[in-house]
Amino acid sequence: HAAAAMYHSKHSGGDNFSFYSPELSVVWTRDRLVFEKELRIALADDQLQVFYQPIMNARQQCVLHIEALVRWLHPVRGFLTPGDFVPFAEQIGVIEQLGKQVLLTACLAAHNLSQSLGRPISISVNVNPRQLLFGGFAQVVSQALQQTGLPASSLTLEITEDAIVNNIPLAREVLGKIKKLGVVIALDDFGTGYSSLSLLRDLPIDTLKIDKSFIRALGQNSHDFMITQAIIGLGENLNLEIIAEGVETKRQMQILLDHHCDLQQGYYFSRPVSYTTLLKWMHSPTYGRL
């Protein structure tokens, strides 16, 4: 049941269901089976959607890059975010399929957006640990690029430290293959995992994303502030690109700019939105707030 608690929905639209039911494990099991069936149907019928959140150059107030974030508009349970179903997809063994669909959709969106705007827009796609270390992932990536026509250098794959610490030799092999394609590798949620700085030495990492838990307390909590500063310094010294995630206020944006962290992402600029909304927003003469 500990694992079941993970599926408890915390987010919009999903607050009214939970699989966690210690007394009624029969009901729980039935719920799980229903949810599993629904997820399999959703995958087969393309019910999953990909939302996009701009990653800003906050100094120039322009968008160069977007992150793809999966959503599931569930007919009954409402709008589900990844925390509601990605761990479950992993458990029932459909994460590779889910990941492949998101990757294809996202690459196509970046390609179309670039054409529509007449300038290159690159895209980040989150990769689940299982997906990364499952055989043949580099092949899946190369096929997605071929099928969509997106240049490899316009794709970033976001991985987490936890995904690689347990299997560094295999991670190095897979990441090496992906790098050879010309794809960019980012470490997501940097600073929160069981990270070792030797990962940065041993693996072909290009970008660090400072976890939003450090950004939240910028300007209030001096420890988080120092950690953020240290990560920015690490980036400068090791020549890594740094992106701050979870920027929600003008003050946070400004503090980051003062410390030369120009690449920023967060609700202050825009929430994750549908492709259509993003397209409209990026075509507007000055980016408004969404």
Tokens of 148: 């969509």
Sign of CA dihedral 16, 20, 24, 26: positive
Q: Which is nearer to ligand C2E, 31 or 188 (CB)?
A: 188
The item of Mg ion, ligand C2E, none sharing an interface with residue 159, based on CB under 5 to 8 Å by kind, is: none
Q: Provide, rounded to whole angstroms, the least separation between the CB of residue 83 and ligand C2E.
A: 6
Q: Which of 83, 87, 120, 204 binds ligand C2E (CB under 6 A)?
A: 83
Q: Which is nearer to Mg ion, 23 or 104 (CB)?
A: 104
Helix (H, G, I), strand (E, B) or coil at 150: coil
Q: Which long-range contacts (CB under 8 A, 24 or more apart) does 162-170 make?
A: 162/129, 162/193, 162/194, 163/127, 163/128, 163/129, 163/132, 163/133, 164/129, 164/132, 164/199, 164/203, 165/193, 165/194, 165/195, 165/196, 165/199, 167/133, 168/199, 168/202, 168/203, 170/133
The item of Mg ion, ligand C2E, none sharing an interface with residue 224, based on CB under 5 to 8 Å by kind, is: none
Report if residue 189 touches Mg ion, rule: CB under 5 A: yes
How far apart, in Å, are the Cα atoms of 123 and each of 95, 120, 145, 244, 264?
20, 10, 12, 16, 14
**Per-residue binder mask for ligand C2E (CB under 6 A), 155-184, x = binder:** ---x--------------------------
Report if residue 129 touches ligand C2E, rule: CB under 6 A: no
Report if residue 79 touches ligand C2E, rule: CB under 6 A: no
Q: Which is nearer to ligand C2E, 22 or 63 (CB)?
A: 63
Report if residue 83 touches Mg ion, rule: CB under 5 A: yes
Residues that bind ligand C2E (CB under 6 A): 53, 69-70, 81-83, 86, 99, 102, 126, 128, 158, 188-189, 212, 245-248, 266-267, 272
